[in-house]
């Protein structure tokens, strides 16, 4: 038999879960806004040809530290307690009060009190809208493919095609121009004329490949559309819930008569 939860326990937890949720939401927002490098990786290789110096700046490997999907899954898991706590408080406080069914995209999510709906509306329009609006998106001007990298198996990471090329440099050589008027029998000699010749030579071969755990512009847009769909449904449910006869309270009159 499941243990019965008491409202007093949830009220005691509310301040903590609200503070945790706010810090978590702010951290997620800042992470998406300022730490896009967490979601991007790159591999660079370079092999110098014989006779040329190795170039360390053209070599390196940066792993994708995290993905948007992983971050959202973490947020979903660790914010569940906040939603259960604060919305259960609102549902308990509003027990028997005005209610309405929440219809989202044609699906009936069930009957909820106006207090629950108001709290959900506030969360949708603040923390969730801010986080989704800041999701880092990958460069859509580049073609991306599911990664074949073993290190990223089972994660939502894409890769670009392997870019390959050769590095080049200019080699300058000096040479003496042949004098067409020179004869061994000439009594006077002229100084030799020197010219420069520049030749392009290959110094090595390189590869570059990028990796991304970011989301796409379309996926982020679809999430915002879903959020707006839920928001509009909540507003409509609130209108239906509030379409009820007013039950007047005499609590204020009693207070004023008692005080004055």
Write the pLDDT tens digit of every residue in 27-70. Answer: 999 999 988 889 999 999 999 999 889 999 999 999 999 999 99
**117: phi then psi, degrees, rounded to nearest 5:** -65, -40
| Closest listed residue to residue 115, CA positions, set 88, 152, 143, 153 | 88
Residue 183's pLDDT is: 62
- The Cα 136–Cα 19 span in angstroms is 25
CA dihedral 152, 158, 162, 167 (to 10 degrees): -90
Residue 258's pLDDT is: 80
* Residue 115: Cβ-neighbour burial (10 angstroms; 0-12, 13-18, 19+): buried
Sequence-distant (≥ 6) Cβ neighbours of residue 253 within 8 angstroms:
none
Residue 248's pLDDT is: 67
Residue 43's pLDDT is: 96
| Closest listed residue to residue 176, CA positions, set 198, 196, 148 | 196
Residue 144's pLDDT is: 97
| Domain boundaries, given as residue ranges, for the chain | 8-181+192-244
Residue 249's pLDDT is: 67
Residue 35's pLDDT is: 86
Distance linking the first and last C-alpha atoms of the chain: 52
Residues of the chain falling short of pLDDT 70: 1-4, 96-97, 179-192, 244-249, 251, 260
Assess contact for 38 and 81: CB atoms under 8 A. no
List, in sequence order, the alpha helices (H) in 46-128.
68-93, 114-123
Residue 142's pLDDT is: 94
Sequence-distant (≥ 6) Cβ neighbours of residue 54 within 8 angstroms:
46, 48, 204
Residue 246's pLDDT is: 58
* DSSP strands (E only) in the chain: 40-48, 60-62, 99-104, 107-113, 145-146, 158-159, 163-177, 193-212
Residue 96's pLDDT is: 66
Assess contact for 106 and 229: CB atoms under 8 A. no
């Amino acid at each position: 038999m499941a243990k019965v939860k008491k409202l007093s326990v949830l009220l005691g937890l509310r301040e903590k879960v609200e503070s945790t949720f706010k810090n978590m939401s702010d951290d997620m927002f800042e992470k998406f806004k300022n730490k896009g490098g967490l979601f991007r990786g790159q591999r660079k290789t370079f092999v110098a040809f014989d006779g040329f110096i190795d170039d360390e700046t053209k070599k390196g490997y940066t792993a994708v530290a995290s993905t948007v999907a992983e971050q959202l899954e973490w947020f979903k898991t660790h914010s569940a307690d906040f939603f259960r706590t604060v919305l259960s408080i609102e549902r308990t406080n509003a027990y028997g009060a005005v209610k309405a069914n929440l219809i989202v995209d044609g699906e009936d999510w069930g009957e909820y009190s106006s207090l629950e709906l108001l709290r959900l509306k506030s969360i949708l329009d603040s923390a969730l809208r801010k986080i989704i609006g800041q999701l880092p998106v990958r460069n859509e001007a580049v073609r991306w493919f599911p990664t074949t990298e073993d290190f990223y198996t089972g994660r939502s990471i894409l890769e670009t095609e392997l870019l390959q090329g050769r590095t080049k440099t200019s080699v300058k050589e000096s040479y003496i121009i042949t004098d067409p008027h020179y004869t061994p029998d000439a009594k006077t000699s002229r100084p030799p004329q020197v010219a420069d010749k520049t030749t392009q030579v290959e110094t090595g071969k390189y590869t570059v490949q990028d990796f991304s755990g970011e989301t796409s512009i379309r996926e982020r847009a679809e999430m915002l559309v879903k959020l707006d769909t839920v928001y509009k449904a909540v507003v409509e449910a609130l209108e239906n819930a509030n379409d009820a006869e007013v039950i007047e309270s005499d609590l204020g009159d009693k207070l004023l008569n008692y005080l004055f």
